[in-house]
Structure 1
Amino acid sequence: MHIVMFADQHVESLGGAQVSMRLQRRYLERAGHTVTIVAPALHGPRARAAVPARAAAGPAYADLPSVPITFDREYSVTWPGAAADRRVDEALASRPPVDLVHVQADFWGGFIGHRFAARHGLPVVHTMHNRVDVGIEATTPLPGLVLRALNLWQRRTLSAGGVGAGAGAPVDTGDGGRAPGAGRGGDSAASVGADAGVGGRGVRSTRDGWAFLRGFAARSDAVTAPSSHFARRLEDHGVVPGRGGRGIRSGASGGADAEPRIDVVWNGIDDDLLDAALASAPEVRPPGPPRLVWSGRMSPEKRLLPFLEALAVSGVVADVEVIGGGAQLGAARRLLERHRAAATVTFAGRLPYPETLRRIAAADALVQTSIGFETQGMTVFEAGALGTPSVVSDPDIADELGAGVWRVEDASVDALAAALRCVASRVPEGTAPTPDPTLRTRFRQSSRTAAMLEVYRRVL
């Protein structure tokens, strides 16, 4: 089959969703399928660095005209509308007929993807990667106003694109008349959109982050989430497929009368990279103080600054490596200068993904400090698959992992400091918690691709 994926950011830019989509494409192609990824074009240093990857991908990357939206030109936006619609159709005209649209975007990429599916009468799988409400609140000064504007933008953009507007007539796809799923745009649930509850849940807010996600779900045949805890939140807020899709949550049974559900499909780790990182890990722990790794984007929702403050308050002697970049790097350096932690902290910057995995495998513990923001928390799953335990601040993520976790009791700096003291005492004793050994199999991308193919086949 030919799957067209839509993203908010080019998959050669930094980010967990981008890493996941690159992996999905490779493993779907290994399984004999065709994948096209539609995303805003890259700019600046990242565009130059990505030239070899783009050349290797060939027509699998359909880049749209875009405008940079960050100072470092890492991320960009493509305005959804008629011009973007034409560019998408032109890019796909020379490729095999499309069977299915997989939207893995939360903003403009989502709008463009759903508009494309509506024009061509194609079924849609939508993967929810982002807690929109938490992300907006953490990064904007007027989150309520921004969320209202986003919901209005979504309704207008998708209505203008014919999504959920009753497009029941045959669709001219330009490929000889083949239009799998033609006529689905007129589904009654899709016409309800974000303005009412789904599945008999009653009227809900039309202005918050959940309303925004409901607007996408109502226009989808299946909705997937990368974790059980995020799937539960989505369902609790009525974010369920609205075009007749019947998902099956882990271990649950579906049927003709079953309520539409969310399919839980973890983002995975490259099988080959996992094996290489495991092979590089030391068989015996080298002597010395505990080695901790913090990896992620340096932005408020990731809570790097509270981690560094807790590190100073804890008084632990440890070697700490901070991997990643972002706007809070300067603030992080200044905080360390003020507090003068007993630990040695090294800012490693942005590293290639294989090197990041190697360093996590060599560490005594990974530290993840975000709370309520992560829809999966990829780094702790990577650590667990590599046999490295984690300090986890988010109780939902700790529950998902099960074993191999030091839980932080609450969001306070003191609680995080207490967890770090526990790490510092138990690592030298050799009594650190052990991650679930089945993660090494269940988290491999080969198994995740097989799970997603089940969703595709059911929708088709």
Structure 2
Amino acid sequence: MFGDQHVESLGGAQVSMRLQRRFLERAGHTVTIVAPRMHGPRASAADAAYVDTPSIPITPDREYAMTWPGGRTDRFVDAALARRGSVDVVHVQADFWGALTGHRFAARHGLPVVHTMHNRVDVGIQATAPLPGLVLRVLKGWQRRALRGIVAADAGRDGWSYLRRFAAASAAVTAPSAHFARRLDEHGVIAADGSPVVDVWNGIDDDVLDAALAAGPRERVPGRPRFVWLGRMSPEKRLLPFLEAVGEAGVDAEVEVIGGGAQEKAARRLIERLGLQDPVVFAGRLPYAETLRRIAGADAVVQTSVGFETQGMTVFEAASLGTPAVISDPDIGGELGSGFWQVPDASVSALAETLRIAASDIAAGTAPVPDPSVRERFRQSSRTAAMVGIYERVRG
């Protein structure tokens, strides 16, 4: 597997790749994960399954890094993977340097690629880059040079054309949700043989889920409504608009914010300015099992990004644990099906009003109940079985 970020760093794709590795190994397969070496205090310990490519940190907190794709990285990867034994399938779960490095490796060795699209590139760049048009042009030029001789260039100028070129070099393309798979298909992001994108959800660890279900409260603990927001504190996740909505809603509730990131200081300043130190608590980064425990004990998980997520892991984790969600992104709501309050639009006032409705329903004991089938469909064991079927097909 090739990733843009080390799987021990924060992020839904990284969590998913760690789970995939564990369950593939449990089924008897050998997994090697190629990704940039981490920096700073959270740098990972040595693991035989990790090929940590030379990298430079790219965020102020040194959580994320990049590896320059090219001949030097190619030689490093070839030598490292030669020590791991023969490779049958290359699974690219990246959109940038990891994707370029993975496709180059597969082309050199004549191996089939399964490419999982985790990122809606156009929306992601728009949300995170100061000059998105320029960034995309640079990115496409980088891709054109790195994949020269592997697959023909795409004449389009948008983010979809960037993804189309990776898909054209792949034996299969997958997406972590039906709504993102549909969008990819609509924009021609399909595998080399013309086959449509296959949706395979990112899953939840069966063992951790069972432990969280066993330890979780069987009945609601009395008290104020309890909301949990969790994720990376960056603009596209819309933490600051959420906190503004909490202030505008004026509900008597507890709000726990789990995670970290570049906007944490701004979020703390906003809390002080709005006088929300009582209802809002910052829990910081928590171990995965503890995060699930907090979700299970909450009355609702709040999802606030709009148009950015290709799945929205947190609401599926919540539904698996029986916790409903406040959902801002209608695509995620459509994927989940039931057991949530839908925010009607992306405004702060609409989110505030939905929080008021949710708090009222929770207090009245009339909160929506998640579909119990999500729990079984979201287990990693079922997701791994689906992906192994794809691996077997492309090997043939």
Whether TM exceeds 0.5 here: the answer is yes
What is the aligned partner in structure 2 of residue 144 from structure 1? 133
SS of equivalent to 1:13: coil
Q: Report if the CA contact (8 A) 2:61-2:261 is conserved.
A: no
Q: Report if the CA contact (8 A) 2:61-2:262 is conserved.
A: no
Q: In the TM superposition, what is the alpha-carbon distance from 1:340 to its structure 2 partner?
A: 2.4
Give the AA of the match of 1:33. H
What is the aligned partner in structure 2 of residue 338 from structure 1? 273
Q: Report if the CA contact (8 A) 1:313-1:341 is conserved.
A: no
- Of residues 410, 423, 426, the one that matches 2:345 is 410
- Of residues 359, 384, 394, the one that matches 1:449 is 384
Q: Report if the CA contact (8 A) 2:57-2:63 is conserved.
A: yes
Instruction: Tell me if 1:194 matches 2:181.
Output: no
- Of residues 259, 268, 275, the one that matches 1:324 is 259
CA distance in 1, matches of 2:277, 2:283: 19
Show structure 1 runs of 4+ deviating over 3 A: none
Query: CA 1:20–1:264 in 2, change beyond 3 Å: closer, same or farther?
Result: same
Q: In the TM superposition, what is the alpha-carbon distance from 1:342 to its structure 2 partner?
A: 9.0
What is the aligned partner in structure 2 of residue 66 from structure 1? 55
Q: In the TM superposition, what is the alpha-carbon distance from 1:430 to its structure 2 partner?
A: 1.1
- Of residues 333, 347, 355, the one that matches 1:420 is 355
Identity of aligned residues (%): 71
CA distance in 2, matches of 1:232, 1:404: 23
Instruction: Tell me if 1:125 matches 2:114.
Output: yes
Query: CA 1:383–1:443 in 2, change beyond 3 Å: closer, same or farther?
Result: same
Q: In the TM superposition, what is the alpha-carbon distance from 1:337 to its structure 2 partner?
A: 2.0
Instruction: Tell me if 1:163 matches 2:150.
Output: yes
CA distance in 2, matches of 1:88, 1:98: 12
Instruction: Tell me if 1:270 matches 2:257.
Output: no
- Of residues 14, 18, 43, the one that matches 1:22 is 18
Which aligned pairs between 1:276-291 and structure 2 lie closer than 5 A? 276-291=211-226
Q: Report if the CA contact (8 A) 1:323-1:349 is conserved.
A: yes
Which aligned pairs between 1:218-233 and structure 2 lie closer than 5 A? 218-233=168-183
Which aligned pairs between 1:367-382 and structure 2 lie closer than 5 A? 367-382=302-317
What is the aligned partner in structure 2 of residue 179 from structure 1? none
What is the aligned partner in structure 1 of residue 371 from structure 2? 436
Query: CA 1:110–1:342 in 2, change beyond 3 Å: closer, same or farther?
Result: closer
SS of equivalent to 1:45: coil
Q: Report if the CA contact (8 A) 1:407-1:419 is conserved.
A: yes
Q: In the TM superposition, what is the alpha-carbon distance from 1:63 to its structure 2 partner?
A: 1.1
SS of equivalent to 2:326: strand
SS of equivalent to 2:76: helix
CA distance in 2, matches of 1:37, 1:336: 39
Instruction: Tell me if 1:42 matches 2:74.
Output: no
Instruction: Tell me if 1:398 matches 2:333.
Output: yes
Instruction: Tell me if 1:238 matches 2:198.
Output: no
CA distance in 2, matches of 1:310, 1:416: 6
Give the AA of the match of 1:99. D
RCO higher in structure (CA 8 A, sep ≥6): 2
Q: Report if the CA contact (8 A) 2:10-2:232 is conserved.
A: no
SS of equivalent to 1:38: strand
- Of residues 11, 18, 38, the one that matches 2:7 is 11
SS of equivalent to 2:114: strand
Q: In the TM superposition, what is the alpha-carbon distance from 1:11 to its structure 2 partner?
A: 0.7
Q: Report if the CA contact (8 A) 2:92-2:114 is conserved.
A: yes
What is the aligned partner in structure 1 of residue 105 from structure 2? 116
What is the aligned partner in structure 2 of residue 215 from structure 1? 165
- Of residues 84, 88, 100, the one that matches 2:77 is 88
Q: In the TM superposition, what is the alpha-carbon distance from 1:105 to its structure 2 partner?
A: 0.6
Q: In the TM superposition, what is the alpha-carbon distance from 1:375 to its structure 2 partner?
A: 0.2
Instruction: Tell me if 1:98 matches 2:87.
Output: yes
- Of residues 60, 66, 70, the one that matches 1:77 is 66
CA distance in 2, matches of 1:73, 1:307: 26
Q: Report if the CA contact (8 A) 1:312-1:343 is conserved.
A: no
CA distance in 2, matches of 1:94, 1:140: 38
Q: Report if the CA contact (8 A) 2:117-2:173 is conserved.
A: yes
Q: Report if the CA contact (8 A) 1:317-1:342 is conserved.
A: no
CA distance in 2, matches of 1:401, 1:79: 38
Greater C-alpha Rg: 1
CA distance in 1, matches of 2:56, 2:378: 35
Q: CA RMSD in A?
A: 1.1
CA distance in 2, matches of 1:307, 1:376: 20
What is the aligned partner in structure 1 of residue 143 from structure 2? 154
Q: Report if the CA contact (8 A) 1:267-1:378 is conserved.
A: yes
SS of equivalent to 1:354: helix
Q: Report if the CA contact (8 A) 1:194-1:218 is conserved.
A: no
Deviation string, structure 1 residues 302-346 (Cα, Å, up to 9, x no partner): 011111111111110100000011111121122222222496000
CA distance in 2, matches of 1:295, 1:331: 16
CA distance in 1, matches of 2:271, 2:63: 27
CA distance in 2, matches of 1:194, 1:32: 39
CA distance in 2, matches of 1:308, 1:114: 41
In the superposition, the TM-score normalised over structure 2's length comes to 0.98
SS of equivalent to 2:310: coil
Give the AA of the match of 2:169. R
SS of equivalent to 2:31: strand
Q: How many residues matched?
A: 395
